[in-house]
Structure 1
Amino acid sequence: MTLTQLEIFSLVAELRGFTLAAHRLGISQSAVSHAMKSLEQELGVELLRRHQSQVELSTIGEQLLLRARAMLGLANTLRQEAADARGMKSGTLRIGSFGPTSSIKLLPAILRRYREAHPGIEMHVDEGPDRQVIQWLEERRIDIGFVVLPEERFDTFTLIEDQMVALLPPDHPLARHPALSLKDLCEAPFVLTEAGSAELVSRLFMAARLQPNIRYRCAQLLSTLDLVSRGDAITIVAEGSLPQAQDKAFVKKPLLPAVKRQVGLAVLDRRQASPATLAFIELATRIHHH
């Protein structure tokens, strides 16, 4: 069994196809299927089920994929530690980011400084909803991710704290109140943003045994803000995710009682994290720690 076979297996599973994996790796499709056949023969189990053009994982394939990714992750750490001995001149770092808070407020400054300090490290940034980032971490598709805290499953490092605020159209009857309770926000049509704090907002209402009147779900914060400014809905968002220039198109109100939100970095296991990952954490906490 070679790391190359495991790498091919992991990619075929991710892309669900031999041709796509071959393209990505820059090798022939027959090389891909040969690698998979010999891996299956050596292990004595069927890892992949081939349908016309689609490839699906068998149950044991799913299970062994997690092992394969763990081994690839450790091999990457091993390469990194060797690179570290050479002064971290090469290596890769895969980062997962969600929503405007991490992608626009936190990440750029860290990336810029990191590039200056470690120009040889190649960085890949993937952006998705916060739930997606957590899944990527668990599947070892990324080395480090920005998450809304607390997050029990990982080793985490706090970067910033802000608060959740209600957003209303300027002419909304509730806009006259200095602060709003969750109960106040249950009547009007509500828009839920999937980008950063959807989980947090849903948990808030559930914990208070309240049910917002969810009419819209938006993947992007911009479309959420647009719905609010048009007067179609109200919402709760994290203050840190709002654009710097405060829009006149909506009013923001603090929640009563106040709800804090923390954003930080997460890794699956800090003891297995590569030097490049640890350097990223160290730099990020230095830049953003107040």
Structure 2
Amino acid sequence: MSISKFETLAKVCELGSLTKAAEALGCTQSAVSHTINSLEEQFGFAILTRSRAGVKLTDDGQRIMPSVRGMLNYYEQLNQTVSAIRGLDFGTVRIGAFTSVAVHWLPGVIKEFQRDYPNVDIKLLNGDYHDVEKWLTEGSVDLGFVNLPANLNCECIALMEDRLLAILPPDHKFASYPKFPLVECETEAFITLLETSNHDANKALSAAGIKPNIKFSTKDDYAIIAMVEQGLGISIMPELLLRGRHDNVAVKELVPPSKRTIGLAIGETSSQSPATRKFADYIIRWVKEKK
């Protein structure tokens, strides 16, 4: 049974479309469909359901995908180990990251890494904390930036403690104060990330026993900043996310202070991949030098 069949299946699941998978793989849609049909015939059950909206895994398909992804990860690890033994530096590193890291850290790290290892491909998936932990658990990424402590069965390395700060409209009554009392979130219109995002502000407020007066929710960090600029409410953001920005908002320290710990998680099936380990080392060194 060819490994390429499973690579095709994984690409179809990733993109949710036979057509998009064919474009990504550089083949025809009929070839992709034939590959899936061949796998289903060999397994003796349907892997995908097809509709006008695209394709999705059947219940049986969902049961086999963790093993399929694990096999592909080990196959990639084998190729990288062989390349390392032969003195080559080839491979792929898949990284899951949230916005602040994707914007402020990864471009610099990738630039340095690509200078030394130009033949290693880097694939970046951007999401929230929940997304990254899910990708790590599924084996969809090799490395993931997480908010520690994280509920993961893999190696996690603490990188940096990042302060949480209040952002207020420029004409807010606390805009001229040096600090913002966290308790004010109980009465002020509060703008937050969706609950599935495992937002830092929600953790800080919960730890202080404060129930915020939530008026708006979104999954986009920068949408929150724009809404605060327009006077729709206040919010709490990590300092790294706000670094280098010139938004028309007042940024204040919190009372009591709160922070998050940014960590790097190395997926279980990727831990021995030479390219993954090299990239992890570059991240650790880069953050240590820049923070």
Same fold by TM-score greater than 0.5: yes
Q: Could you list the per-position Cα deviations for residues 112-149 of structure 1 after superposition, in whole angstroms to 9, with x for gaps in the alignment?
A: 11011211111122222232222222222222122222
8 Å Cα contact 2:89-2:275 kept in structure 1: no
2:210 maps to 1:210? yes
Deviates more, 1:27-36 or 1:102-111: 27-36
8 Å Cα contact 1:88-1:118 kept in structure 2: no
2:222 maps to 1:226? no
Deviates more, 1:275-284 or 1:225-234: 225-234
Count of residue pairs brought into register by the alignment: 287
Shift of 1:199: 2.1
Q: Map 1:104-143 onto structure 2 (within 5 A).
A: 104-143=103-142
Aligned to 1:68: 68
8 Å Cα contact 1:192-1:198 kept in structure 2: no
**Equivalents in 2 of 1:174, 1:7: separation in Å?**
55
Whichever residue aligns with residue 282 of structure 1, its letter is D
8 Å Cα contact 2:165-2:239 kept in structure 1: yes
**Equivalents in 1 of 2:87, 2:186: separation in Å?**
56
2:88 maps to 1:79? no
**Equivalents in 1 of 2:96, 2:274: separation in Å?**
17
8 Å Cα contact 2:74-2:269 kept in structure 1: no
Q: Could you list the per-position Cα deviations for residues 11-59 of structure 1 after superposition, in whole angstroms to 9, with x for gaps in the alignment?
A: 2222333233222222233322222222222222222223356323211
Calculate the TM-score normalised by the size of structure 2: 0.88
**Equivalents in 1 of 2:224, 2:30: separation in Å?**
47
Shift of 1:98: 1.5
Q: Percent identity?
A: 32
Partner SS state of residue 45, structure 1 = coil
Partner SS state of residue 24, structure 1 = helix
Aligned to 1:98: 98
2:32 maps to 1:32? yes
8 Å Cα contact 1:98-1:133 kept in structure 2: yes
Q: Map 1:1-290 onto structure 2 (within 5 A).
A: 1-51=1-51, 54-99=54-99, 101-153=100-152, 154-193=154-193, 199-244=199-244, 247=247, 249-269=248-268, 272-289=271-288
**Equivalents in 2 of 1:54, 1:69: separation in Å?**
21
Deviates more, 1:34-43 or 1:56-65: 34-43
**Equivalents in 1 of 2:168, 2:80: separation in Å?**
49
Q: Which runs of 5+ in 1 are unaligned?
A: none
Whichever residue aligns with residue 237 of structure 1, its letter is M
Shift of 1:246: 5.4
Whichever residue aligns with residue 59 of structure 2, its letter is T
Distance 1:3 1:245, change over 3 A: closer
Q: Could you list the per-position Cα deviations for residues 203-254 of structure 1 after superposition, in whole angstroms to 9, with x for gaps in the alignment?
A: 222344432122223443333222223322111111121132555x322222
Partner SS state of residue 174, structure 1 = coil
**Equivalents in 1 of 2:29, 2:254: separation in Å?**
57
Distance 1:174 1:145, change over 3 A: same
8 Å Cα contact 1:88-1:276 kept in structure 2: no
Distance 1:264 1:53, change over 3 A: closer
Q: Which runs of 5+ in 2 are unaligned?
A: none
Partner SS state of residue 255, structure 2 = coil
**Equivalents in 1 of 2:54, 2:246: separation in Å?**
48
8 Å Cα contact 1:92-1:122 kept in structure 2: yes
Partner SS state of residue 55, structure 1 = strand
8 Å Cα contact 2:74-2:270 kept in structure 1: no
8 Å Cα contact 2:70-2:269 kept in structure 1: no
8 Å Cα contact 1:155-1:270 kept in structure 2: no
**Equivalents in 1 of 2:70, 2:287: separation in Å?**
30
Whichever residue aligns with residue 149 of structure 1, its letter is L
Whichever residue aligns with residue 126 of structure 2, its letter is E
Shift of 1:71: 0.5
**Equivalents in 2 of 1:118, 1:106: separation in Å?**
18
Calculate the TM-score normalised by the size of structure 1: 0.88
Whichever residue aligns with residue 282 of structure 2, its letter is L
8 Å Cα contact 1:158-1:285 kept in structure 2: no
